[in-house]
């Protein structure tokens, strides 16, 4: 399905874009991914964060981390669906933006919420499942961000892909972090939306793997 130059994907969009068009698309996605950050900065500066500003900041950053994480995971199935190979050129950027928002989320937690009270934080991470999940997800994101460069891809070769499959674990942990946070108040409507989207995205991969297997094993065994 990965077409060469000139191949047309779905909806008349080419599978590959001219370098110039691709740069424009990438610049647009970059700007778009910064919109939430700018919005938060504006609200913080103008005091428009409501009664509990620290909580508002934490939730805002947490939400956008999850959104970008899911957006990153949407790229591959969407490429398969549409044949737009150029989508792959956006994946790393989206993944790094997810890491950017996750880092701000953690900084806000360490600094604004806990004022570097390491003991209280460590205590919380160990005792509270939602924090254990969130903490693990962030720790696992770090090696992926660190090995996101072309040079690292070359250096790690096949292991790069193996390592980066951790993103599935990270996404599951991230959604669990949200689910367990809301569980105390029996308020699962929002986290379940994220869980459903993640289930679809992971399901698409399972389906693809199953299809590939069907193709490579032409005569299925019977009985």
Site residues (CB under 8 A) for another protein? 44, 47, 49-55, 57, 112-115, 120, 123-124, 127-130, 180-181, 183-187, 189
Shortest reach from residue 54's CB to another protein, in Å: 6
Nearer to another protein, 115 or 118 (CB): 115
Q: How far is the C-alpha of 198 from the C-alpha of 64, rounded, in Å?
A: 15
Nearer to another protein, 20 or 119 (CB): 119
Shortest reach from residue 70's CB to another protein, in Å: 21
Give 8's strand partners: 14
Shortest reach from residue 63's CB to another protein, in Å: 13
Nearer to another protein, 124 or 204 (CB): 124
Nearer to another protein, 26 or 113 (CB): 113
Shortest reach from residue 5's CB to another protein, in Å: 49
CA angle 144/203/175 to nearest 5° reads 55
Residue 185: Cβ within 10 Å count: 7
Shortest reach from residue 160's CB to another protein, in Å: 37
Residue 127: Cβ within 10 Å count: 9
Q: How far is the C-alpha of 109 from the C-alpha of 12, rounded, in Å?
A: 46
Nearer to another protein, 19 or 50 (CB): 50
Helices 19-45 and 91-108 meet at what angle, rounded to 10? 10
Structure tokens given for 10: 């779905």
């Amino acid at each position: 399905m990965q077409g060469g130059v000139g191949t047309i994907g779905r909806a008349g969009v080419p599978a590959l874009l001219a370098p110039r068009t691709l740069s424009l698309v990438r610049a647009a996605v970059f700007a778009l991914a910064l919109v939430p950050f700018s919005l938060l900065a504006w609200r913080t500066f103008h005091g428009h964060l409501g009664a509990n500003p620290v909580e508002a900041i934490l939730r805002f950053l947490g939400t956008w981390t999850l959104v970008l994480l899911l957006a990153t995971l949407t790229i591959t199935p969407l490429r398969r669906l549409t044949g737009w190979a150029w989508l792959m050129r956006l994946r790393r950027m989206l993944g790094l933006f997810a890491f950017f928002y996750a880092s701000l989320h953690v900084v806000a937690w360490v600094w604004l919420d806990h004022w570097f009270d390491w003991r209280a934080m460590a205590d919380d991470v160990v005792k509270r499942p939602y924090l254990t999940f969130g903490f693990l997800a962030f720790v696992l994101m770090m090696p992926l961000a660190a090995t996101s460069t072309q040079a690292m891809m070359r250096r790690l070769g096949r292991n790069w892909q193996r390592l980066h499959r951790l993103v599935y674990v990270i996404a599951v942990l991230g959604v669990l972090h949200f689910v367990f946070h809301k569980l105390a108040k029996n308020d699962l409507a929002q986290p379940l939306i994220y869980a459903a989207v993640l289930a679809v995205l992971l399901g698409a991969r399972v389906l693809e793997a199953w299809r590939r297997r069907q193709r490579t094993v032409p005569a299925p065994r019977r009985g």
